[in-house]
Amino acid sequence: MNNFFRQGYAYLGLLAAALYLLTSCETAVFENARPEPQTPREVYWAALDSNGLARTRMAQAWKMAGQRALRDSVVIETPFREIAYYQAAEPTAYGYRFSLKVGEVVQMKWQGLADSTRFFADIYQLIPTDSSLHYQYLSSAVAGPADSLGYEAVEEGNYLLRIQPELLTTGRFDVQIIIQPAYGVFPVQGKSNPDIWSVFGDPRDGGRRTHKGIDIFAPRGTPVLAATRGVTRRVRDKGLGGKQVWLYDPVRNQSLYYAHLDSQLVVENQLVEAGDTLGTVGNTGNARNTRPHLHLGLYKRGQGAIDPRPYVAYQSTRLPSVFSDTARLGQLNRVRYTTATLRSAPHPRAQKIMELERHLPVELLAASKYWYRVRLPGGFSGYLPAEQLEATTSRIARRTLATTTELLQSPQEQTSPVAVIEAETSVDVLAQSKDYQLVRDERGQTGWLRLGDR
């Protein structure tokens, strides 16, 4: 058993039995809960509290892990995939940060590799204040081994997903995060993002005005499609837009403006579905001297023109493969080379956290592509390339103890001894931090020795 950062199993049997009683009578527990919890995770914690379990060391560690996941969340680039490890003896939660524009939808899926583990997933928006960062709760889900959660941004900013398995569970889960446009149909048939040649805010008429939409170029007569379900409020031929169709989106209380059409194939007050043909691409109105294209505008009630591109521009959904060995998750490894750079995210451009010395022990928490998410003896976490790590099976030195010494459970001041090693005993040194060495005695038992012990 890996003794790295272990809190022990002293409470597991008692807590497991109590949790079984808790989940078998949840209805009675929740009836008297006041004030009523708002999220599934809060409901779960309220149930622990009402049964007297919230004060246990393990439950408090679970709560703190959830709070720490918000603070220590990693900034990711989408599409993103990671396989993460969790264990009963040391509660864990994972946080992922990403940015969204208005009109983008983040879609998150997770697949647990244990049959019955429940996961609590919460989405927050990060609101910076003068002195701190506020986490504004938006949405959540709780489910078994596999589920998903989505959120459409109504405000541009930074967002966070936290995933945490319930107490007393051990296993791995596969988390996948992608970002897509809120409208599932591109407005010109057979075209895509590269055909958008003029974007929102581009100067017009020598800078006297700005572009209030995007231009999608296509041959004359190419079908123009409804990007979403809605009602055609206006179908007319006049002004700068020439032949045009206004499609009202009642869900978001906004209207899509299709202009410069060559033909109109709908009438006013017609209900259309996403993908229905509204007309064809042309260059009517003030576009008569330009190549045929669709001008797509988007007007929000009470705001005026907003950028339609995030609502229709597709993003890659091809999830990266995980090449790092996931069988090593939960194990203790050590830094392989003279120095290694711990980074804030699994890519070489990510922010540097610190430089690590050779033979430093780290615990492998998660795998993504060619990287591992690791935790250091001091509790810091970050990402290292898989090639910079190696197993602790082989020794890096041999040491003979001058005095009888306790073999410790973890490299911390307040930790329990796992064995006593007699004086003149030789041990294999497997890894080394600033103040401790990970060693293996003659019986094959591993533990930690203070460097000051001789």
CATH code assigned at 261: 2.70.70.10
Q: 329 with 366: CB under 8 angstroms?
A: yes
Together in a domain, 31 and 165: yes
Domain of 405, CATH number, reads 2.30.30.40
114 band by pLDDT with thresholds 50, 70 and 90: low
Together in a domain, 25 and 127: yes
**Can you tell me whether residue 57 is helix, strand or coil?**
helix
Together in a domain, 252 and 370: no
Together in a domain, 345 and 288: no
pLDDT in tens, 39-52: 999 999 999 999 99
Domain boundary among 146, 181, 216: 181
Asked if the structure places residue 310 within a domain, the reply is no
Together in a domain, 406 and 372: no
Domain of 142, CATH number, reads 2.60.120.380
Together in a domain, 333 and 440: no
- Based on the structure, what is the number of domains in the chain? 4
Predicted confidence at residue 205, as pLDDT, reads: 63
Together in a domain, 374 and 266: no
Together in a domain, 360 and 407: no
Asked if the structure places residue 276 within a domain, the reply is yes
Together in a domain, 18 and 162: yes
Q: Which residue has the higher pLDDT, 19 or 332?
A: 332
Q: Among residues 378, 365, 356, which one has the least CA distance to residue 331? A: 365
32 band by pLDDT with thresholds 50, 70 and 90: very low
Q: Which two tokens stand for residue 155?
A: 């405000």
Domain boundary among 240, 267, 302: 302
Could you report how far apart the first and last alpha carbons of the chain are, in Å?
26
Whole domain around residue 201: which residue ranges?
193-302
Q: Which two tokens stand for residue 98?
A: 């990403």
Asked if the structure places residue 6 within a domain, the reply is no
Asked if the structure places residue 17 within a domain, the reply is yes
Together in a domain, 266 and 249: yes
Number of Cα atoms under 13 Å in the Cβ half of residue 248: 12
Domain boundary among 181, 205, 223: 181
Asked if the structure places residue 231 within a domain, the reply is yes
pLDDT in tens, 133-180: 999 999 998 876 668 899 999 999 999 999 999 999 999 999 999 999
Asked if the structure places residue 309 within a domain, the reply is no
Asked if the structure places residue 313 within a domain, the reply is no
Together in a domain, 372 and 411: no
Predicted confidence at residue 147, as pLDDT, reads: 81
Mean pLDDT of 360-376: 96
Q: Which residue has the higher pLDDT, 210 or 321?
A: 321
| Element holding 280 (H helix, E strand) | strand 277-281
**Cα–Cα distance between 201 and 378 in angstroms, integer?**
49
Asked if the structure places residue 3 within a domain, the reply is no
CA distances from 186 to 224, 235, 295 (A): 9, 20, 13
**Cα–Cα distance between 68 and 62 in angstroms, integer?**
10
Res 30 pLDDT > 60: no
Q: Which residue has the higher pLDDT, 265 or 18?
A: 265
Together in a domain, 221 and 165: no
